[in-house]
Structure 1
């Protein structure tokens, strides 16, 4: 087994590092991962998920216990997960919980330590013993306040050649940027001034994977995470990993080869482990990270959040339907991660080629009307373009483009999740969506960062009080989303790889059909995406006449298949034959 693994690793290494002894490097990688002592054979095209898998996205300190100041946030989070979400979720993604210097965790100072203000590795192990655990591997860049970067400035190892450098005169006009900050930043070192590459910020210095020692360091980090219970790896900003001056420095083939290599190592350590690539780019580019079912097991459906929000605030599903029809079914062993809110803003690049400029402008202006903010990126032509919208999902869906805020906010919000939960793929729910958290202007003003508007911190006592108040929208959101999740987890037609076909039911009614892999269950998913009551002839849905059909959400039984269905504003139907 090890001989075959080494051969596969060398195939990628020969492309990445053509000028070194790749046979020796392959053996170093195997040893660093510990595979020389214990190695497992991963299955071909193995699905490590089913319809019961629901992922929760949260920060370690999204919930705090002010009544117990000695209780660390990871302990508070564990108790909340056990008490309130045990029956809802199967997996939890805790955003970077390491010591950091900026970007709410994504500027990592020490990959092998838990931020002591959050807790310790034992807290991570305890959560991972109850839920599948997803961790970020912040692989593109590291904090300018890290020991490695301090060593870089001192010109000593480890760190001396760990960060990517370029001449200040280098042609970087073609580089794709997600920010407007300078790409190259001067740093004083023991050898004089050097310019380091910073894709995201001056405090987030890009790592130099042209040095194979950096690759070995990250394999050691991955092993450490797996020893502490991490089963799912989110490769943060991985599209920018490999740089070449004079190119866009995004999606380069060396990046894809490194992902293949990491997947091989991780799968041989734990065949049930999963790699997810975080590539907030146009849809066609995003799909390439599946490779030939040999790169990411799962990719984010980055086009879904902006398209679904636009659909529900415009009352028109045309673009959402067009996008859904264009999405290829994921091969066995791969699937999509469906989400409509996260710690980041709502990306606009994934709408390229899907929304017209006027429609993007309508979307942006409506989000601003609902209290949101807009972040910009520096385009290759030297102009700043809207990059993402920063807003809580609950406030993003408080009204429509035409009429502004209205009375349908809760129904619109629940409808959005009913759509997401039914789509092909694994659903991921941001904790602040589960709780119906609104825009946090105070936190945004305190940090000076737009993204903080959707990164609230709840006191657990206040949160429990809000959830216990049946009249609060927090309680209503939690109850209705929990109900949808409970229903979803029992349906084989909602397996992440079950068949999906888009239905054509007009502009105000969005629909698709799911069928289980053994074909024992079909579900017609029908949604009124408008603020007006809609009617649809059951004959247009083409229900199988010999089956009995029931709406899983309301319990409504379809008695007359030649009749009409009436859908109230933003009503969701999951019509099932079992």
Structure 2
């Protein structure tokens, strides 16, 4: 869009820009810059327009984009052009991901490269490697306390290892996703060290205060993220002689995005990792980017403006790179991280579907789909050119932050129901085989979350330790049921490493003084490759899970209606144990799949009159696309086995 003020400024910037930029081929860069600069200028003005040094920062921003464009490898520039033409490429059902820690999965980044065949064997073609940047050994927060944004932690490898891995993955058509921690740094980061030494420039990179007056005002409205281990939101730094905002842990200093220098530094970091070969960047803790007195300091309007600005700038330099919003917030808030537009994602193309994840776990505990159905009805419709990341487990805990009104409409009392879920998954009931561990217990509110591996939470740990073969079969069925739901819902399914072979809780973290107070380490495993080899031994839990998931993923990739174009319809049925929805092709009438899931241990019935004409066979019978079998139907009643599911198509 042409607008005189912004383009006049752009002309001034380009006239002052350094001569070396004119010695290279910048045709695509200038085309994209011209197309995006009005939006970039408008966002900069909204955030920083009152500053006297506004034009200086605007010029620095353009120079950063240009310099990183010059640094971008030719292969990645070619990939940018391909993805600009095929702009819906990431909405395809062909993508199936796995999240992992490189040291837990295979010792280091070179080990991940050596195990790329494992991903191909299972059908994984998107690998999210969690934080690999340098961080302190004792206070790392699982890699999210970064002490150098451009250096790989020596314990997992080097920058050259990242480049080799990304190159090899590109040859295999496997996407690489990496983390960028936007909200904070480690207190050992160079910026923090300079702030400690008294440098006012770098003290302004953070929120620091001489006394408790302003911090106490913030505390009145800000919740505590880790009330057990890191109460409050401010930490006194003795060396600096100032209070510093530390929302997550006392060793993680929150960055001050009201300072444009911080935003430009972090844009440079984002573009740096895009240039190392990251197809997708997971932006951590985006809900916390803007701090405002009298608020929770989450989901502020300015946080969205920052993300829009980062996205617009990335589209100029590395348009083939996608953003994931790590915003574990209420559904009405999370969809805002796609951006407020009718079609195109203006902030992040991908967001975690934490609501769906938590609702699935509710169905596991209650053995019914009442809250699951109600919660999905309340899930806002996403943008057309954006997608969900659907997952069951991840490196983090499970929180049950359902909307209270949904809980009430499902027939429960909110506080008691959440307490039931916590007790169920920590094995406090006689009929619960779950072996979860509480996390983040808040004595003031009674709230808590749950840690634990997928296998341990559905009872496989109990079953194996007790030698209960029937319980093993039940746990395996639940593992497959949950994966069947994330693979058919619409979006990018994201498996968590170890779940594909039924990895149990790892209690060894209790022996590490740096980890023992953080129960999330119980589900951050070190893969035992001898155990993983049992995926080829018929009858073992590893074989049962891996082989079934391998087939499930293969079938999923062949079903066109599983692509994510807002082509899903929830179907309400009378049986409370069932979760039923339809998937359809927007362009080919009659191409439909009916998804039916039974969250009860006993077989359940579905009256096919409840689903109308969804995927109804014209002449023959239903076929379950996953198993290839014909399901049992008696007098227009479908029978679904205990903890079973169908992907039904008419023949």
**Structure 1 and Structure 2 fold alike (TM over 0.5):** yes
Q: How does 1:116-127 map to 2 (within 5 A)?
A: 116-127=154-165
How many angstroms apart in 2 are the aligned matches of 1:351 and 1:430?
26
- The CA deviation at 1:270 is 2.8
Contiguous gaps of at least 5 residues in structure 2: 1-30, 71-76, 408-413, 428-433, 461-467
Change (3 A) 1:550 1:27: farther
8 A Cα contact 1:375 1:386, kept in partner: no
- Aligned residue number for residue 105 of structure 2: 63
- Aligned residue number for residue 31 of structure 1: 63
Q: How does 1:74-473 map to 2 (within 5 A)?
A: 74-85=109-120, 88-101=123-136, 102-129=140-167, 130=169, 131-156=174-199, 159-166=202-209, 167-170=211-214, 171-172=217-218, 173-180=220-227, 181-189=231-239, 193-292=241-340, 293-350=345-402, 352-355=404-407, 356-369=414-427, 370-376=434-440, 383-398=444-459, 406=471, 408-446=474-512, 447-448=515-516, 449-460=518-529, 462-473=530-541
- The CA deviation at 1:86 is 5.1
3-state DSSP of counterpart to 1:33: helix
Larger deviation, residues 497-506 vs 150-159? 150-159
Larger deviation, residues 95-104 vs 121-130? 121-130
- The CA deviation at 1:385 is 4.3
- The CA deviation at 1:120 is 1.5
3-state DSSP of counterpart to 1:489: helix
8 A Cα contact 2:68 2:272, kept in partner: no
8 A Cα contact 1:325 1:501, kept in partner: no
Structure with more of its chain in helix, by fraction: 2
* Partner deviation per Cα, 1:35-61 (whole Å, 9 max, x = no partner): 796697985994231101111100011
- The CA deviation at 1:560 is 7.1
The answer to whether residue 569 in structure 2 is matched with residue 501 in structure 1 is yes
8 A Cα contact 1:503 1:512, kept in partner: yes
- Aligned residue number for residue 556 of structure 2: 488
Larger deviation, residues 245-254 vs 522-531? 245-254
8 A Cα contact 1:337 1:425, kept in partner: yes
Change (3 A) 1:472 1:559: closer
- The CA deviation at 1:545 is 4.4
Q: How does 1:3-22 map to 2 (within 5 A)?
A: 3-20=34-51, 21-22=53-54
8 A Cα contact 1:303 1:351, kept in partner: no
Q: How does 1:531-542 map to 2 (within 5 A)?
A: 531-542=601-612
Contiguous gaps of at least 5 residues in structure 1: 65-71
How many angstroms apart in 1 are the aligned matches of 2:39 and 2:639?
57
3-state DSSP of counterpart to 1:513: strand
- Aligned residue number for residue 580 of structure 2: 511
* Partner deviation per Cα, 1:92-121 (whole Å, 9 max, x = no partner): 110001111221101111110111111122
Larger deviation, residues 462-471 vs 275-284? 462-471
Change (3 A) 1:260 1:59: same
Change (3 A) 1:559 1:428: closer
3-state DSSP of counterpart to 2:388: strand
- The CA deviation at 1:169 is 2.0
Change (3 A) 1:276 1:563: same
3-state DSSP of counterpart to 1:62: helix
Larger deviation, residues 440-449 vs 215-224? 440-449
Larger deviation, residues 119-128 vs 228-237? 119-128
8 A Cα contact 1:348 1:386, kept in partner: no
How many angstroms apart in 1 are the aligned matches of 2:62 and 2:634?
60
8 A Cα contact 2:332 2:380, kept in partner: no
- The CA deviation at 1:418 is 0.4
The answer to whether residue 524 in structure 2 is matched with residue 524 in structure 1 is no
Tell which has more relative contact order, 1 or 2 (C-alpha 8 A, sep 6+). Answer: 1
- The CA deviation at 1:24 is 4.2
- The CA deviation at 1:183 is 1.1
3-state DSSP of counterpart to 1:112: strand
8 A Cα contact 1:346 1:390, kept in partner: yes
How many angstroms apart in 2 are the aligned matches of 1:559 and 1:465?
35
- Aligned residue number for residue 67 of structure 1: none
How many angstroms apart in 2 are the aligned matches of 1:315 and 1:37?
53
- The CA deviation at 1:258 is 0.4
8 A Cα contact 2:422 2:449, kept in partner: no
How many angstroms apart in 2 are the aligned matches of 1:168 and 1:490?
59
How many angstroms apart in 2 are the aligned matches of 1:371 and 1:546?
47
How many angstroms apart in 2 are the aligned matches of 1:242 and 1:330?
24
3-state DSSP of counterpart to 1:458: coil
3-state DSSP of counterpart to 2:103: coil
Change (3 A) 1:261 1:396: same
Q: Which of residues 54, 57, 60 is equivalent to 2:96?
A: 54
3-state DSSP of counterpart to 2:495: strand
